């Protein structure tokens, strides 16, 4: 950085941290915090997949890692099954029970009969038959109950159906095999071809593990008398263990966090800082429950606007404040300790108050405070057990620690450790820590004398682990609890035990602390949330790049996207609400059109307000005509809390009001206005507000605003919105704080306001106007300003979010945002006079044109619109190009608690190799293929004589199809005296099996079986070719393939159009022949080569092929084919033909390669490009900068680097506006003269 001579110049980095991208801006300010210059600005796009970013924003219950874990669990399960099968096969072979292929190929009915007979006393099976039965039992060994399933309603219903199935066969005195054989036999039908088929499907019949264990025991009991020397007790126990053994779950204790308040750092073996200390306690621990209850009770503050004696309203809130005494707090705690929830009604009852007193507990109580759920669940489970009262006893005692507070001289207290010997604690710990039912039964009987089966069942059904962990250790809570019990707030209690709960520092401490030179990247899986980890790592890399290029900065100001400041549940609710709102807005737009008004965003908002208030003025109750309201005549949008005293322009602060009320209200709050100016309507107004809230017409926030007096306006509204409670917010600030002295966090609403006031909103619109004009996506819009009608050209449906660079503008605004601005906006109510005086000082002739806030904000120091526009023009959006193919891995196992490396040199693919669907391949007869096409694949010809003649003709003509065709015209193919001009061929087609319930109308013609196709087509026609109607019809009426309705169709096979090179073999039979195929995933890159003759050859390399190249130590992108072929020739290891077939030929030269998200300059000559580079003309370069969006065979998509959307519906207009180039020929590619460049983290364009 060019450092200014003035040492008072400060450098500020602004960051706009979002889910999908990071905007940044580096500025210089003088000692008065006035901006001097924009040093640099840019945007870094975070490399998240659509699935990852959408999943995070929507707060999906299942993360990407969870999906991977499920797939990995399935693979592990299958691997263990194969291992179990191999062990069982070896064991039965050693016992002489090995069997041949004739028993493997038994029809289902015969096999199940054999299994049924095996468990029938007196029915003797041969040893090989017993071996076959055991292998069949091993294939499906039933559902084993897990304790965690009890809390899942869907799982509970599933388990109930499984158990009912078992009870039914127990009542019938049957084993699983006998029951299924009976059903198969009852459904057996002999077809026209004489084959027996069973319509009953055993696949979906799941029984509990106990049913299969009972069947195994029955088989052994029935067959052991015949083979006592073979089926010894030891052999039977060994077989049973092989089939049914299931290892216990691994402990996850190492994943539990260390308590932040008790952890201590030390230097580990590798020299890195490691933390040790007590782990956080389970949230269901009786101690954690008690601690949480005291924290919530100490936060309760009751407020009332009514005098308890007269019922009149208080003038101020302070007069109606009710402070709880310590005795009252103890009474509340006592109630909550034995109840699951404390409601406002119950709270008032405990305090001897009633609703007529007008008291409310606000957000502290809300819909209720959570009580001691652990106590309540255990009490419910114990029921009428005689010793329940003693078992639920939990008494805590505070003791002197012997330590003295240095400042106060008071002896420090803590809760005695003997609480762990309290009956409730011991019972909770027993139920919490034991997962096995029989082990729990034994422990309950031994420790507590509980031997009642029903009580044991109810206790076992409690899952205390699902609630997770608190954020404090038991040790810390024991230190904290005595001071909470004195009625102190959490923050105050922390000071008594010398704990800085918020990690805040004084100015002196900030100056003294040592800063790091750069940020260390987060370790893999350090945060156990891949999306958050990627976002923070990109921020770390970006900040380090700024430091490397420009040196350290003095301050970082950061804004986090709303999604990053909310929990998963909150993100899910926000997304659901937004989706619902979008749906409602479409309906409102249609209704607005019915009023002969053009719908707009503002008018849709007005319609919501109008409906919300019952089509009346919220204050005086006069009817409001929507057309007048929509056009701004007679009725207006009204701020509940005036914007002159409260910074909030959200929907929760807006209502529909007639013009007279709006003008009369002025700077009063809605509550004060109605009370003072419309006293006769005040009671009905309050009732109306309460009614709207109770009927869910208005939100809790709007309800509170409508009943808020001027003195109640909060002064920390924006601070609450900063929301630094979420882990990513705290972690981001913690990371930045380690390298910069001052880190401040701002909020999006403030950024939006100042960006608008300073005129930055229109920058991107104006920069994109000419681009959108090319595709006729602009329109002339009329507007009225100062009484004058104006016409302006606007982009249709424009949003700043269509351009990545809006993040950079937001970051620049954040960099200019002094913390004092937020403080000023927080205290608008008390700062208005000072703001006015400041404006008068700056301009004695000041006359208000806008609101006082807007006028004051517009005059705060900032860069001009032209300065910002010039900086934005130079931005090259930075994003990670290409994709890493593999990473080295190793396999670790734990032995005696220590990690042992079992395997190294593993290549771990960085993505899915294939799609999940597995295809089969069949031969299909194609009739009368013409002679010319027979030459392409002569091996597919059915007639051997014709096939031999054509193959010989090709050999005679050097396998040249054109020469061979001319040859055959002179020497026709004659077989049995007949000239052959066409022949039948077998062609290989890929097929996939799918459930008939998922079938759609367009799929019918792809059905392989002609009989099934006809039956499905008939049903589709009956349903009017409607997919939904067809699927609903299958519930009551299955599709039958025969006239007698004996063979229902459950699944169908469909032809697919995959080419042979687009799929990979993923399953093979015992001989190694491929029998299952899967489609390869996305293309990794396209490489273009020039042969010696000047021809261009394209090679498209899928991700699968890229991984294979890594596996055989070949370059992923082959730049010098000759060197690669020389290397292959000198190798001792053999490379498969399928890999060699994808390589470029010797003699070819790499002309160009492309990967997804690589950047190219298009439309400039080489000379223009070099001139722009040498002159640092980034505005020209960025106007021609494109990223590779997607690649296919001679089909390359280049998207303008600033564009955020890739909607296929806009493809045509995007091409017209040159936002998108779709290249489908080498000639077009040549005309664009693609020049590959690299964009680093800071957006610098680097020629390659």
- How many Cβ atoms are within 10 Å of 1127's Cβ, its own excluded? 12
Q: Is residue 411 within a helix (H) or strand (E), and if so which, with residue range?
A: strand 411-415
For residue 207, which of 239, 249, 247, 161 has the smallest C-alpha distance? 161
Strand partners, 639: 654
Cβ-Cβ contacts under 8 Å for 966 (sequence gap 6 or more): none
For residue 637, which of 651, 620, 623, 622 has the smallest C-alpha distance? 651
Integer angstrom CA distances of residue 958 from 654, 936, 961, 965: 84, 14, 9, 12
- How many Cβ atoms are within 10 Å of 304's Cβ, its own excluded? 18
Per-residue pLDDT at 115 exceeds 90: yes
C-alpha–C-alpha distance, residues 88 and 106, integer Å: 20
For residue 1083, give the DSSP letter: E
Express as a percent the part of the chain with pLDDT over 70. Answer: 88
Comparing 401 with 737, the larger pLDDT belongs to 737
Q: Is 804 annotated as a binding residue?
A: no
Q: What's the distance, CA 160 to chain centroid?
A: 32
CB-based contact 934:947 (threshold 8 Å): no
Stretch 756-767: mean pLDDT, rounded? 93
pLDDT, tens digit, for every residue of 339-350?
999 988 888 889
Q: What is the DSSP string of 429-447?
A: HHHHH---HHHHHHHHHHH
Comparing 575 with 1092, the larger pLDDT belongs to 1092
* Of 211-220, 394-403, 615-624, 817-826, minimum mean pLDDT range: 817-826
For residue 143, which of 233, 226, 79, 207 has the smallest C-alpha distance? 207
Place 1240 in a pLDDT band, splitting at 50, 70 and 90.
very high
For residue 1007, give the DSSP letter: B
Stretch 507-526: mean pLDDT, rounded? 79
C-alpha–C-alpha distance, residues 65 and 534, integer Å: 13
pLDDT, residue 63, reads 61
C-alpha–C-alpha distance, residues 875 and 1240, integer Å: 12
CB-based contact 455:381 (threshold 8 Å): yes
Sequence-ordered strand ranges (E) for 119-201: 188-190, 196-198
3-state secondary structure of 688: helix
pLDDT, residue 159, reads 82
Rounded to the nearest 10 degrees, the angle between the axes of helix 153-171 and helix 176-186 is: 80
CB-based contact 556:530 (threshold 8 Å): no
C-alpha–C-alpha distance, residues 1054 and 1003, integer Å: 8
Q: Is 438 annotated as a binding residue?
A: no
Stretch 92-119: mean pLDDT, rounded? 93
Cβ-Cβ contacts under 8 Å for 386 (sequence gap 6 or more): none
Q: Which two tokens stand for residue 605?
A: 């908002």
Q: Is 563 annotated as a binding residue?
A: yes
pLDDT, residue 836, reads 45
Phi-psi group of 787: left, alpha or beta (phi > 0 → left; psi -120 to 50 → alpha; rest → beta): left
pLDDT, tens digit, for every residue of 1081-1102?
789 999 999 998 889 999 999 9
Stretch 115-136: mean pLDDT, rounded? 95
pLDDT, residue 1012, reads 92
For residue 957, give the DSSP letter: T
CB-based contact 48:19 (threshold 8 Å): yes
Catalytic hit among 639, 862, 1084, 1184: 639
Given CATH 3.30.559.10, say whether it is the number of domain 10-60+513-566+723-875: no
* Of 626-630, 771-775, 824-828, 1046-1050, minimum mean pLDDT range: 824-828
3-state secondary structure of 260: coil
Cβ-Cβ contacts under 8 Å for 154 (sequence gap 6 or more): none
For residue 241, which of 404, 118, 445, 87 has the smallest C-alpha distance? 87
Strand partners, 888: 907
Per-residue pLDDT at 1104 exceeds 50: yes
CB-based contact 1184:1168 (threshold 8 Å): no
Per-residue pLDDT at 310 exceeds 60: no
* Of 147-156, 218-227, 596-605, minimum mean pLDDT range: 147-156
pLDDT, tens digit, for every residue of 686-731?
888 888 888 888 888 888 888 888 777 765 444 444 444 456 777 8
Q: Which two tokens stand for residue 276?
A: 């040790």
pLDDT, tens digit, for every residue of 362-421?
666 767 899 999 999 999 999 988 888 999 999 999 988 777 776 666 778 899 989 999
Domain ranges of the chain: 10-60+513-566+723-875, 68-244, 282-497, 578-709, 920-1060, 1082-1247
Cβ-Cβ contacts under 8 Å for 208 (sequence gap 6 or more): 142, 143, 144, 145, 162, 163, 166
pLDDT, tens digit, for every residue of 47-99?
766 666 565 555 554 566 677 788 888 888 899 999 999 999 999 999 999 99
Q: Which two tokens stand for residue 843?
A: 């301009």
Place 7 in a pLDDT band, splitting at 50, 70 and 90.
low
Place 3 in a pLDDT band, splitting at 50, 70 and 90.
very low
User: Does residue 785 have an active-site annotation?
Assistant: no
Per-residue pLDDT at 564 exceeds 60: no
pLDDT, tens digit, for every residue of 522-542?
887 777 677 788 889 999 999
C-alpha–C-alpha distance, residues 11 and 555, integer Å: 7
* Of 419-433, 1051-1065, 1225-1239, minimum mean pLDDT range: 1051-1065
C-alpha–C-alpha distance, residues 447 and 515, integer Å: 55
Residue whose token pair is 């917010």: 729
Overall residue count recorded for the chain in this entry: 1248
* Of 173-182, 186-195, 961-970, minimum mean pLDDT range: 186-195
Catalytic hit among 16, 40, 803, 1214: 16
CB-based contact 928:984 (threshold 8 Å): yes
For residue 775, which of 797, 760, 792 has the smallest C-alpha distance? 797
Express as a percent the part of the chain with pLDDT over 90. Answer: 45
Q: Is 807 annotated as a binding residue?
A: yes
For residue 653, which of 596, 697, 615, 706 has the smallest C-alpha distance? 706
For 855-862, the CB contacts below 8 A with 24+ separation are 857/753, 857/754, 857/757, 857/758, 857/821, 858/757, 858/758, 860/754, 860/821, 861/33, 861/34, 861/35, 861/816, 862/35, 862/754, 862/758, 862/816
* Of 15-24, 189-198, 568-577, 940-949, minimum mean pLDDT range: 568-577
Stretch 436-461: mean pLDDT, rounded? 91
pLDDT, residue 400, reads 85
For residue 997, give the DSSP letter: G
Is 1033 exposed, middle or buried (CB count within 10 Å of its CB: 0-12, 13-18, 19+)?
middle
Place 847 in a pLDDT band, splitting at 50, 70 and 90.
very low
Per-residue pLDDT at 948 exceeds 60: yes
For residue 568, which of 701, 722, 732, 726 has the smallest C-alpha distance? 726
3-state secondary structure of 1021: helix
CA geometry: angle at 817 spanning 814 and 823, to 5°? 130
User: Does residue 696 have an active-site annotation?
Assistant: no
C-alpha–C-alpha distance, residues 175 and 213, integer Å: 10
pLDDT, residue 4, reads 41
pLDDT, residue 1179, reads 94
C-alpha–C-alpha distance, residues 877 and 980, integer Å: 63
Stretch 321-335: mean pLDDT, rounded? 90
C-alpha–C-alpha distance, residues 254 and 259, integer Å: 13
For residue 516, give the DSSP letter: P
Q: What is the mean pLDDT of the chain?
A: 85
Cβ-Cβ contacts under 8 Å for 358 (sequence gap 6 or more): 304, 305, 306, 320
Comparing 133 with 779, the larger pLDDT belongs to 133
């Amino acid at each position: 950085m060019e450092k200014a001579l003035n040492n008072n110049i400060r450098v500020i980095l602004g960051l706009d941290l979002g889910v999908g991208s990071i905007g940044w801006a580096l500025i210089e300010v003088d000692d008065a915090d006035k901006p001097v210059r924009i040093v640099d600005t840019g945007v870094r796009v975070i490399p998240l997949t659509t699935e990852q970013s959408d999943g995070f924003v929507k707060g999906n219950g299942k993360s990407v890692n969870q999906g991977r874990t499920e797939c990995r669990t399935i693979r592990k399960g299958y691997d263990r099954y194969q291992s179990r099968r191999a062990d069982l096969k070896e064991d039965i072979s050693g016992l002489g029970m090995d069997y041949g292929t004739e028993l493997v190929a038994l029809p289902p009915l015969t096999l199940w009969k054999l299994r049924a007979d095996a468990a029938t006393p007196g029915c003797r099976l041969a040893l090989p038959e017993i071996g076959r039965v055991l292998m069949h039992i091993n294939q499906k060994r039933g559902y084993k109950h897990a304790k965690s399933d009890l809390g899942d309603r869907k799982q509970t219903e599933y388990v109930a159906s499984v158990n009912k199935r078992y009870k039914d066969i127990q009542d019938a005195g049957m084993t699983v095999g006998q029951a299924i054989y009976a059903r198969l036999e009852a459904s057996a039908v002999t077809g026209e071809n004489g084959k027996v088929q069973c319509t009953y499907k055993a696949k979906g019949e799941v029984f509990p593990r106990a049913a299969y264990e009972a069947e195994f025991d029955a088989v052994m009991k029935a067959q052991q008398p015949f083979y006592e020397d073979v089926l010894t007790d030891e052999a039977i126990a060994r077989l049973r263990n092989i089939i049914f053994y299931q290892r216990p779950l691994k402990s996850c204790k190492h994943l539990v966090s260390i308590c932040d308040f008790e952890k201590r750092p030390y230097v580990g073996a590798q020299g890195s800082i490691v933390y040790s200390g007590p782990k956080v306690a389970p949230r269901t621990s009786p101690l954690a429950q008690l601690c949480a209850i005291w924290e919530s009770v100490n936060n309760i503050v009751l407020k009332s606007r009514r005098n308890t004696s007269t019922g009149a309203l208080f003038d101020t809130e302070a007069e109606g404040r009710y402070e709880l005494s310590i005795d009252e707090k103890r009474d509340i705690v006592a109630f909550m300790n034995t109840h699951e929830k404390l409601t406002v009604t119950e709270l008032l009852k405990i305090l001897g108050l009633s609703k007529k007193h007008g008291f409310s507990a606000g957000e502290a109580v809300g819909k209720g405070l959570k009580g001691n759920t652990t106590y309540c669940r255990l009490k419910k489970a114990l029921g009428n057990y005689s010793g329940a009262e003693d078992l639920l006893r939990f008494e805590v005692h505070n003791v002197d620690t012997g330590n003295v507070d240095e400042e106060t001289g008071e002896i420090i207290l803590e809760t005695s450790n003997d609480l762990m010997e309290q009956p409730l604690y011991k019972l909770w710990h027993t139920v919490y820590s034991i997962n096995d039912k029989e082990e729990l039964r034994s422990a309950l009987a031994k420790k507590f004398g509980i031997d009642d089966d029903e009580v044991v069942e109810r206790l076992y059904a409690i899952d205390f682990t699902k609630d997770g962990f608190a954020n404090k250790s038991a040790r810390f809570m024991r230190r904290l609890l005595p001071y909470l019990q004195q009625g102190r707030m959490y923050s105050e209690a922390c000071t008594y035990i010398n704990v800085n709960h918020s990690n805040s520092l004084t100015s002196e401490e900030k100056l003294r602390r040592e800063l790091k030179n750069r940020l260390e990247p987060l370790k893999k899986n350090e945060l156990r949330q891949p999306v958050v980890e990627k976002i923070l790592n990109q921020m770390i890399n970006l900040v380090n790049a700024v430091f490397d290029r420009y040196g350290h900065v003095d301050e970082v100001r950061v804004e986090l996207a709303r999604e990053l400041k909310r929990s998963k549940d909150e993100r899910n609710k926000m997304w659901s609400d937004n989706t619902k709102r979008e749906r409602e807005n479409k309906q409102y737009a249609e209704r607005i059109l019915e009023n002969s008004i053009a719908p707009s965003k503002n008018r849709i908002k007005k319609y919501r307000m109008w409906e919300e208030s019952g089509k009346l003025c919220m204050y005086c109750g006069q009817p409001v005509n929507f057309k007048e309201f929509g056009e701004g005549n007679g009725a207006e949008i009204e701020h509940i809390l005036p914007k002159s005293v409260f910074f909030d322009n959200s929907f929760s602060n807006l209502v529909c009001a007639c013009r007279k009320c709006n003008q009369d209200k002025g700077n009063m709050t809605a509550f004060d206005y109605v009370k003072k100016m419309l006293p006769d309507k005040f009671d009905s107004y309050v009732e109306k507000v309460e009614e709207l809230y109770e009927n869910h017409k208005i939100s809790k926030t709007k309800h509170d605003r409508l009943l808020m007096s001027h003195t109640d306006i909060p002064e920390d509204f924006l601070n609450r919105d900063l929301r630094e409670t979420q882990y990513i917010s705290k972690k981001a600030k913690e990371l930045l704080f380690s390298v910069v002295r001052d880190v401040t966090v701002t909020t999006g609403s403030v950024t939006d306001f100042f960006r608008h006031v300073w005129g930055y909103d229109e920058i991107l619109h104006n920069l994109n106007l000419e681009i959108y004009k090319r595709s006729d996506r602009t329109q002339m819009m009329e507007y009225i300003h100062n009484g004058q009608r104006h016409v302006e050209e606007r982009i249709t449906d424009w949003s700043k979010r269509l351009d990545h660079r809006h993040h950079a503008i937001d970051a620049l605004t954040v960099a200019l945002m002094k913390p004092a601005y937020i403080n000023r906006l927080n205290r608008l109510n008390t700062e208005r006079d000072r703001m006015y005086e400041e404006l008068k000082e700056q301009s004695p002739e000041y006359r208000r044109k806008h609101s006082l806030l807007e006028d004051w904000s517009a005059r705060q120091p900032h860069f001009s619109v032209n300065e910002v526009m010039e900086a934005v023009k130079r931005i090259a959006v930075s994003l990670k190009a290409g994709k890493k193919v593999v990473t080295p891995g190793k396999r670790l196992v734990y032995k005696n608690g220590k990690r042992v490396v079992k395997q190294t040199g593993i290549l771990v693919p960085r993505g899915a190799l294939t799609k999940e669907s597995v295809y089969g391949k069949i031969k299909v007869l194609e009739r009368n293929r013409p002679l010319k096409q027979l030459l392409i694949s002569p091996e597919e010809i059915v007639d051997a004589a014709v096939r031999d003649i054509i193959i010989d003709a090709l050999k005679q003509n050097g396998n040249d199809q054109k020469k061979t065709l001319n040859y055959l015209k002179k020497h026709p193919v004659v077989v049995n005296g007949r000239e052959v001009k066409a022949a039948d061929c077998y062609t290989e087609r890929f097929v996939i099996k799918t459930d008939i319930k998922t079938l759609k109308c367009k799929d019918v013609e792809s059905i392989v079986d002609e009989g099934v196709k006809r039956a499905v087509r008939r049903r589709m026609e009956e349903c009017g070719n409607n997919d939904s109607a067809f699927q609903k019809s299958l519930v009551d009426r299955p599709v039958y393939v025969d006239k007698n309705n004996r063979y229902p169709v459950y699944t169908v096979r469909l032809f697919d159009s995959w080419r042979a090179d687009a799929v990979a073999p993923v399953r093979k039979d015992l001989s190694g022949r491929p029998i299952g195929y899967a489609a390869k995933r996305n293309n990794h890159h396209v490489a273009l080569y020039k042969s010696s003759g000047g021809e261009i050859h394209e090679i498209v390399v899928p991700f699968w092929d890229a991984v294979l190249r890594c596996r055989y130590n070949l370059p992923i992108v082959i730049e010098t084919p000759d060197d690669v072929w020389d290397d292959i020739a000198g190798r001792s290891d053999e490379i498969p033909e399928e890999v060699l077939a994808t390589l470029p030929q010797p003699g070819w030269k790499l002309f160009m390669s492309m990967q997804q998200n690589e950047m190219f300059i298009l439309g400039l000559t080489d000379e223009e490009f070099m001139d722009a580079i040498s002159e640092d003309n980034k505005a020209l370069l960025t106007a021609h900068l494109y990223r590779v969006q997607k690649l296919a065979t001679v089909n390359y998509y280049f998207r303008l680097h600033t564009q955020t959307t890739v909607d296929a519906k806009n493809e045509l207009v995007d091409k017209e506006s040159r936002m998108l180039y779709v290249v489908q020929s080498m000639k077009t590619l040549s005309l664009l003269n693609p020049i590959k460049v690299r964009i680093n983290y800071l957006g610098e364009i680097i020629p390659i």
